Amino acid sequence: MNDAMRSRIEAQGFLGLDDRMIGRLNYWLRLSPAICMIWAAIGTALESAPVLWALAPFALLGVLLPGHPFDLLYRFGVQPLTSGPPIPPNPLPRRFACLLATVMIVTAAWSFQSGRTLSGQILGWALVSAAFVNVSTGFCIPSFLYGLIFGKPTACNVR
């Protein structure tokens, strides 16, 4: 665990975690963005509105629920096998990221559906690129934007 890793996870709103917990959760917090990235890349490459429309509810549930639905793959698949720690509830910066992703997915899907393929490609690949940054480095661009707009998180419900 290093300072950069801690700052990237805390920017997403996960505060109060010790170094060991951050080290154990670091890559698993990237699982949901990775699934979203791959799904969005497939939908964008195929210029497929139905593929993107199918992804949109999952992104929206990441805003509305305490955790992202894709985190369940970790919770019921990986965690029991690795005795890993539970993923904490999603703090506001991470939910904000899901909200921005939802808007981009819906807008890209609508663009492809209405024949505006260039805007669909731009939005789709922008989402894929932002998710790739998160998946590859742990830096979440929307959480960073959340911090600029609303201030850095100072508290969360992580125990």
Question: Tell me, what's the pLDDT at 159?
Answer: 42
The dihedral region occupied by 91, where left means phi > 0, alpha psi between -120 and 50, and beta the remainder, is: beta
Q: Which of 134, 93, 96, 102 is closest to 11 using CA atoms?
A: 93
In this structure, is residue 36 part of a structural domain? yes
Q: For residue 102, give its domain range.
A: 3-150
Hey, what are 48's tokens? Answer: 């497929």
- Give pLDDT tens digits for 17-56: 999 999 999 999 999 999 999 999 999 999 999 999 999 9
In this structure, is residue 141 part of a structural domain? yes
- Rounded Cα gap, residues 21 and 125, in angstroms: 32
Q: Which of 151, 101, 159 is closest to 129 using CA atoms?
A: 101
b/e burial code for range 139-158 (CB count within 10 A of at least 16 → b) = bbbbbbebbeeeeebeebee
In this structure, is residue 84 part of a structural domain? yes
In this structure, is residue 158 part of a structural domain? no
- In this prediction the pTM is 0.92
Question: Tell me, what's the pLDDT at 156?
Answer: 54
According to DSSP, residue 75 is labeled I
Q: Cα 12 from chain centroid? A: 10
Q: Which residues of the chain have pLDDT under 70?
A: 1, 155-159
Q: Which of 32, 49, 34 is closest to 108 using CA atoms?
A: 49
- Rounded Cα gap, residues 139 and 108, in angstroms: 23
In this structure, is residue 13 part of a structural domain? yes
Secondary structure element (H or E) that encloses residue 116, with its range: none
Rg (C-alpha) for the chain, rounded Å, is: 16
In this structure, is residue 126 part of a structural domain? yes
Question: Tell me, what's the pLDDT at 152?
Answer: 86
- Rounded Cα gap, residues 136 and 80, in angstroms: 25
Domain count, the chain: 1
In this structure, is residue 159 part of a structural domain? no
In this structure, is residue 156 part of a structural domain? no
